[in-house]
């Protein structure tokens, strides 16, 4: 029996995670991510998929971020009909993120048509909401820590990775004619001491390891998000202003909520209204109640402590009329809205109205990529272009980097040190540029492992004649 892997993305890039394993005649795709960021990468979403989707037997998904699942509906559209394995929360979150993604794709195609900037007469979206709907019956929801048979010769097991609700490491077992081999995909690994999620599950052996590299060459800044938030909220309240926070709907919004709850309960900040102004963030928050097994905020009977996630004056803002009415809000309050990157969504109208107010504060959490509105804000630009107008930035701008959902260099090495023997080969995936090279070198030096940095579309034989 022979096993090989083809790198269809996430090789030399942090997006477009997709790895095709061929186990004799059985084709299984690990993740089906969308390429994001640079145009050169995004164009790959439009290339013909390197293998006929109808020939893929099964898909395994590690977690619901778009760079890991965003291509899935396209594969359905192009003829994939097999099972899609993932954890329960991933299945639920995926429905949210992919429906949202389909809507964005449809809007983009519509916009291109109106503005005539597409080469095509009738620009088509990558996929539509119908394709997401067609995908839903293919999803197989699986528990963690259990072996699941996906073919006569292949079994998988999901282990919590602590990166996002339901995010998993995948162990894959291949029964050869003579011996069993184990392949491990780390997926994205979370933090060691996340306030809501469990640390990544230790794995102690693998014949082949695919290790993520996102922060492989970076150390996360000192970890005191609670202290950072306390300072920013109190400063805003002193100015009798509104604190506006652009935040990712899944994960970051809930972590912020939990911290605000804690700070208010301990009287470290005043009890002021908190508005969650994002339909996706509201739906995602409910999913934390639905899946208590996958996070820490619960009692001994596995019931979620609502009071651990909810502040006293918490408002879920569902319709857009209510959202716009928040523009008249004066005095101390917190508004959390998306998109986290300030590229679209309700956050834009909030920014349009709030940036001009000297008493208000905008808190930009996390790293902001070059060329984004967030980066310009953090860099102190005096105006920001929103809805075709240059809006003066007169409010206070705070930046907070201590809320990362990714393991940093030392946390990645700590996880690798759980291995009791050397894997035969280790592939560094989901990373880019010089950082990726230095990370690979550090693994060679510190672990003594055989590291390979795969290239896009490269095929590598993993086992022959097993």
Contact residues toward Zn ion (CB under 5 A) are 65, 188
Q: How far is the CB of 64 from Zn ion (least distance, A)?
A: 8
Residue 167: CB minimum distance to Zn ion, A: 7
Token pair for 170: 């995948």
DSSP class of residue 382 equals: S
Residue whose Cβ sits closest to Zn ion: 65
Q: What order do you get walking across the sheet with 314-316 strand by strand?
A: 314-316, 274-277, 333-337, 242-246, 361-365, 396-400
Q: Shortest Cβ distance from residue 65 to Zn ion (Å)?
A: 4
User: Beta strands 180-185 and 168-175: pairing type?
Assistant: antiparallel
For residues 11 and 16, what is the distance between their CA atoms, to the nearest angstrom?
A: 8
Q: Which CB atom, from 100 or from 188, has the smaller least distance to Zn ion?
A: 188
Please identify, using beta-carbon distances, which residue of 14 and 184 lies nearer to Zn ion: 14
Please say whether the beta carbons of 426 and 450 come within 8 A.
yes
How many other C-beta atoms can be found within 10 angstroms of the C-beta atom of residue 385? 11
Pairing status of strand 58-60 against strand 84-87 = parallel
- For Zn ion, give the closer residue by CB, 30 or 233: 30
**What is the length of the chain?**
466
Q: How far apart are CA 50 and CA 457, in angstroms?
A: 8
Please say which residue, 42 or 113, places its beta carbon nearer to Zn ion: 42
Closest separation in Å from C-beta 406 to Zn ion = 8
Q: Which residue's CB is nearer to Zn ion, number 57 or number 188?
A: 188
Closest CB to Zn ion among residues 36, 359:
36
CB of 213 to Zn ion, least distance (A): 13
Q: Which residues contact 134 (CB under 8 A, 6 or more apart)?
A: 73, 76, 77
Measured from the CB atom, the residue of 6 and 65 that comes closer to Zn ion is: 65
Shortest distance in whole angstroms from residue 120 CB to Zn ion:
32
Token pair, residue 304, equals 């979620």
Query: What are residue 139's DSSP bridge partners?
Result: 84
How many C-beta atoms lie closer than 10 Å to residue 91's C-beta?
19
The two three-digit tokens of residue 352, written as one number: 């349009």
Residues 243 and 361: their CA atoms lie apart, in Å, by: 5
**Residue 427 Cβ vs Zn ion, minimum distance, rounded to whole Å:** 18
Q: Minimal distance in Å, beta carbon 63 to Zn ion?
A: 6
Nearer to Zn ion, 70 or 345 (CB): 70
Integer Cα distance of 465 and 284 in angstroms: 46
Query: From CA 7, how far away is CA 19, in angstroms rounded?
Result: 5
């Amino acid at each position: 029996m022979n096993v090989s892997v083809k790198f269809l993305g996430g090789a030399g890039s942090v997006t477009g995670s997709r790895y095709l394993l061929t186990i004799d005649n059985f084709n299984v795709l690990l993740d089906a991510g969308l390429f994001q960021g640079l145009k050169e990468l995004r164009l790959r979403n439009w290339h013909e998929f390197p293998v006929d989707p109808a020939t893929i037997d099964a898909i395994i998904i590690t977690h619901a971020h778009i760079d890991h699942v965003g291509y899935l509906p396209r594969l359905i559209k192009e003829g994939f009909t097999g099972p899609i394995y993932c954890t329960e929360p991933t299945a639920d979150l995926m429905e949210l993120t992919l429906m949202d993604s389909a809507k964005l794709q449809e809007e983009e195609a519509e916009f291109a048509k109106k503005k005539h900037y597409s080469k095509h007469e009738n620009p088509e979206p990558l996929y539509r909401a119908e394709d997401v709907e067609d995908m839903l019956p293919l999803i197989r929801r699986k528990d963690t820590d259990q072996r699941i048979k996906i073919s006569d010769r292949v079994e998988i097991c999901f282990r919590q990775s602590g990166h996002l609700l339901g995010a998993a490491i995948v162990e894959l077992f291949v029964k050869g004619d003579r011996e069993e081999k184990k392949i491990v995909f780390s997926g994205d690994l979370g933090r060691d001491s996340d306030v809501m999620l469990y640390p990544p599950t230790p794995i102690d052996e693998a014949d082949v390891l695919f290790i993520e590299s996102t922060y492989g060459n970076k150390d996360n800044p000192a970890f005191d998000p609670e202290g950072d938030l306390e300072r920013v909220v109190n400063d805003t309240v002193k100015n009798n202003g509104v604190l506006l926070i652009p935040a990712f709907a899944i994960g970051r919004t809930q972590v912020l909520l939990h911290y605000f709850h804690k700070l208010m309960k301990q009287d470290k900040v005043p009890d002021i209204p908190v508005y969650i102004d994002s339909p996706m963030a509201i739906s995602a928050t409910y999913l934390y109640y639905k899946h208590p097994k996958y996070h820490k905020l619960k009692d001994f009977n596995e019931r979620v402590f609502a009071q651990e996630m909810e502040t006293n004056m918490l408002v879920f803002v569902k319709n857009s009329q209510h959202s716009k009415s928040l523009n008249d809000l004066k005095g101390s309050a917190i508004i959390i809205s998306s998109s986290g990157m300030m590229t679209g969504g309700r956050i834009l109208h909030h920014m349009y109205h709030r940036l001009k107010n000297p008493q208000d504060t905008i808190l930009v959490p996390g790293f902001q990529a070059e060329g984004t509105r967030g980066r310009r804000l953090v860099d102190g630009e005096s105006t920001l272009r929103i809805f075709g107008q240059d809006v003066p930035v007169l409010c206070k701008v705070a930046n907070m980097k201590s809320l990362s959902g990714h393991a940093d260099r030392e946390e990645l090495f700590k996880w690798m040190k759980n291995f009791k023997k050397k894997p035969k080969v280790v592939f560094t995936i989901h990373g880019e540029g010089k950082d990726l090279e230095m990370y690979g070198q550090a693994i060679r030096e510190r672990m003594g492992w055989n590291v390979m940095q795969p290239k896009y579309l490269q095929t590598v034989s993993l086992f022959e004649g097993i």
